[in-house]
Amino acid sequence: MNTTHQTDSNFVLLAVNGTLMRGLKLNPNLLNVGAKFVREDKTDNHYRIWSINDDHPAMIRTIEPSNSVELEIWALPPDAFASVLSNEPAGLAIGKVKLADGSEVLGVLGEPFLVEGQKEITQFGGWRNYTKTL
């Protein structure tokens, strides 16, 4: 299994599931550091996602099967990685995300404390689908 899933050695792949996606409010944080959109993808079926005050999502991997979440995969220059992450909302972290094809990439995940008392939106399959209902 390819765990780096890189397009070339000059870039690091990052899976995003919320406001960093194309056309959304934090997408300029990727574009301004030279990140390139690679493709749309999905997680495997072990993820749940919450709306954090309808401002951004938080996604967590679960032991029990749950659902897949729609993602975008972006290629970032390695030196830009810290800049993008430092501008993410508090409570979000980077970890390995398992994709539908079984491969893994780095991705934005929520810390468990962040989702306490928040609205679970797993049934929508992703942040874009959920925000269409607001």
Average pLDDT over residues 49-64: 97
pTM summary value = 0.91
Q: Above 80 in pLDDT, residue 127?
A: yes
Contact (CB, 8 A) for 18 and 57:
yes
Q: Which domain holds residue 44?
A: 12-131
Average pLDDT of the chain, as a whole number: 93
Residue 7 lies in a domain: no
Residue 4 lies in a domain: no
- Express as a percent the part of the chain with pLDDT over 70: 94
Residue 2 lies in a domain: no
Residue 6 lies in a domain: no
Give the count of domains, the chain: 1
Residue 3 lies in a domain: no
pLDDT band at 32 (very low <50, low <70, confident <90, very high): very high
What integer pLDDT is reported at residue 9 of this predicted model?
Answer: 72
Residue 32 lies in a domain: yes
What integer pLDDT is reported at residue 6 of this predicted model?
Answer: 43
What integer pLDDT is reported at residue 35 of this predicted model?
Answer: 97
Average pLDDT over residues 13-22: 97
Average pLDDT over residues 48-73: 97
The CATH number of whichever domain residue 21 belongs to comes to: 3.10.490.10
Residue 44 lies in a domain: yes
Residue 108 lies in a domain: yes
